[in-house]
Structure 1
Amino acid sequence: MSRENFNDLIAFLAVAREKSFTRAAAKLGVSQSALSHTVRLLEERLGLRLLTRTTRSVTPTNAGDYLIRNIGPHFDQIESQIASLGELRDVPSGLIRVTATDDVIAYILRPRVEQFLKKYPDVKIEINADLRLVDIVAERFDAGIRLGEQVTKEMTSVPLTPDIRFVVVGAKSYFRKNSKPKVPHDLLKHKCITMRLPTHGGIYAWEFEKNGRDVKVRVDGPLIFNSIFPVRDACLDGLGLAHMPEMVAEKYIADGRLVKVLQDWCPYWTGYHLCFPHHHQTTMPFSLFVEEMRYEPAESSHS
């Protein structure tokens, strides 16, 4: 069958389904007379009447019904598949805005973003480094990364990591001059490198837990930062003890430059989550991003 006959069949199906040459012509964007001529030529080629025309209506004949039932679905499927191709073309495009702390960006987000952008190079990701608990909706972000304890009921969340813990560390050079703390309150005798929290403006109190007992220690020291990386670097320089996510310290612990203390007082916390509002408009790029970021636990990373 020639390509012209395919076009004629599409024209016939439009008329049969609309039961009107006028409505079908408007839908196809052709004149009523041209459409009528197309259907008449198709009937002549097939040697069959496909439509019964009256002044008030247009109805399919038995032959017309046969074509609608047996050929119509194939054209519908072709149209659907072509539409799906359009969606696939549109999938890897658009802007995704995410807010997170600088350590989360460095150790969790950036490595996965690298893989995501290799798969979807037309997607743009804007990453905002901020220690504040940013209002995701008000500041027009698609998502934020939070510890499990910080996820609010207004948010949908997807886990990014297993449970994590914060550790207390010091440089070997620091411990050559200072004894290791045995219990959290020993920290009051030490120089500690602290952080000011931008959300409330206070100095972060180090949190500990052992045998169901929670302890907060308001440490003090010569240096206050608003980012974890300067804290780590000052600690490496031997300027005091520091409290930080284990992922930030582990490389330096492994090579012996930092030493962990108070390990039995450092609990695990619910890991990091990607959070976004329940009513977030889930575009295809964002859905793909969520699945790329999602942590799928194999087995517990600690007992």
Structure 2
Amino acid sequence: MKKTDLTGLAAFVAIAQERSFRRAAALLGVTPPTLSHTLRELEAQVGIRLLNRTTRNVSPTEAGKHLLAGLTPAFTDIATALESLNTFRDTPRGVVRINAPRTAIQQAIAPRLEELARDYPGITLEIVADEGFVNIVEHGFDAGIRLGEDIQNDMRAVRISPDLRLAIVATPEYFQRHGRPHHPEDLVEHRCIGWRKASSGERYKWKFQKGENVLSVSVEGPLVLDDAYLMRQAALAHVGIAFAFEQDVAGHLASGRLERVLDDWCPPFPGFFLYYPNRRNHSVALTTVINLLRYPGLRAEQAAKQKPT
């Protein structure tokens, strides 16, 4: 076979794994028509159809599945060999793709962007803001960021934020018209801004804890969203009561635009974690980003908790 066949094989692997010409083309940095032409040339060379194509779906044929199974380890070895060249560079290079909710991006990633760009100019950080919970492996991400309770067991996780607290907030005007809840169960009588999980479609039950008492409250109201920023904006527009991360509404609380209730029912909880596949080999670029985002105060917090009183 000709030397150019490696390009065709790489194109086939990308399309078969992504199940999409468009996504595979974006991954390889070419146009979909170019990728389609490359695949047709490969199929002509091997003399057999490798992919089934419809207007909506792309999937490997039985022959394509057989070829993909043989090529995947080989291309993994090639990627590993190329990645090993990073040990000979002064600074690592590569693309790191991260899927994360907007709040985590604002709190944990944005403050470190200047340092990343300054100290590691060879690393390209590609961030996709997503409030849902995606399979990072299937969607081609190197890592994801979520709250600790949402991370799958087969992933490795590194803490990247301090403890967080929720704040139950509304405007002074809302509380003047509707009164203030004094217990979480009072929320069922109020206009609350709901949150629906984008990944499952499930309406989130507001969770509270005070000592040994743990409650989950199903709230109702005029608006249901899947974006934390929009929830805060709706609360500021007097729509109803919202929950938010304490840090995200600190300025509004200080200015008096929002007021807080049920503070004693909102204890701290573990914050955001960066998670990634539990594999032995990771790119130097990913390892660098992990170390950069790792929460520096974790050891200090643990030491403080263990210190005898």
Measured against the shorter chain, the TM-score band is 0.5 to 0.7
- Structure 2: how far apart are the matches of 1:218 and 1:254? 29
Q: Assess, with a 3 A threshold, how the Cα gap between structure 1 residues 88 and 119 changes in structure 2: closer, same or farther.
A: farther
Letter in 1 for 2:219: V
For residue 173 of structure 2, what is the aligned residue in structure 1?
A: 173
| 1:278 aligns to 2:306 (yes or no) | no
Q: Assess, with a 3 A threshold, how the Cα gap between structure 1 residues 175 and 119 changes in structure 2: closer, same or farther.
A: same
TM-score (normalised: structure 2): 0.67
For residue 216 of structure 2, what is the aligned residue in structure 1?
A: 216
Note the C-alpha offset of 1:280: 5.9
Structure 1 residues 158-186: Cα deviation after superposition (integer angstroms, max 9, x where no partner): 11112112121111221221211100011
Q: Assess, with a 3 A threshold, how the Cα gap between structure 1 residues 301 and 132 changes in structure 2: closer, same or farther.
A: farther
* Contact kept in structure 2, 1:162 and 1:301, CA below 8 Å: no
For residue 161 of structure 2, what is the aligned residue in structure 1?
A: 161
The SS at the match of 1:92 is coil
1:16-95 correspondence runs (5 A): 87-89=87-89, 91-95=91-95
Letter in 1 for 2:170: G
For residue 182 of structure 2, what is the aligned residue in structure 1?
A: 182
For residue 299 of structure 1, what is the aligned residue in structure 2?
A: 301
For residue 71 of structure 2, what is the aligned residue in structure 1?
A: none
Structure 1 unmatched runs, 5+? 1-83
Aligned residue pairs, count: 220
1:195-234 correspondence runs (5 A): 195-234=195-234
* Contact kept in structure 2, 1:91 and 1:285, CA below 8 Å: no
* Contact kept in structure 1, 2:193 and 2:231, CA below 8 Å: yes
Superposition CA RMSD, Å: 2.2
For residue 150 of structure 1, what is the aligned residue in structure 2?
A: 150
Q: Assess, with a 3 A threshold, how the Cα gap between structure 1 residues 264 and 302 changes in structure 2: closer, same or farther.
A: farther
TM-score (normalised: structure 1): 0.68
The SS at the match of 1:169 is strand
Instruction: Give 4+ residue runs of structure 1 displaced > 6 Å after superposition.
Output: 300-303
1:233-244 correspondence runs (5 A): 233-244=233-244
Note the C-alpha offset of 1:248: 1.6
- Percent of residue pairs identical: 36
Q: Assess, with a 3 A threshold, how the Cα gap between structure 1 residues 240 and 300 changes in structure 2: closer, same or farther.
A: farther
Highest CA radius of gyration, 1 or 2? 1
* Contact kept in structure 2, 1:207 and 1:214, CA below 8 Å: yes
- Structure 1: how far apart are the matches of 2:208 and 2:220? 16
Structure 1 residues 134-172: Cα deviation after superposition (integer angstroms, max 9, x where no partner): 111111111111111122321111111121121211112
Moved more, 191-200 or 276-285: 276-285
Structure 2 unmatched runs, 5+? 1-83
| 1:98 aligns to 2:92 (yes or no) | no
The SS at the match of 1:269 is coil
For residue 10 of structure 2, what is the aligned residue in structure 1?
A: none
Letter in 1 for 2:206: W
Structure 1 residues 241-264: Cα deviation after superposition (integer angstroms, max 9, x where no partner): 001111221221122211111011
Note the C-alpha offset of 1:301: 12
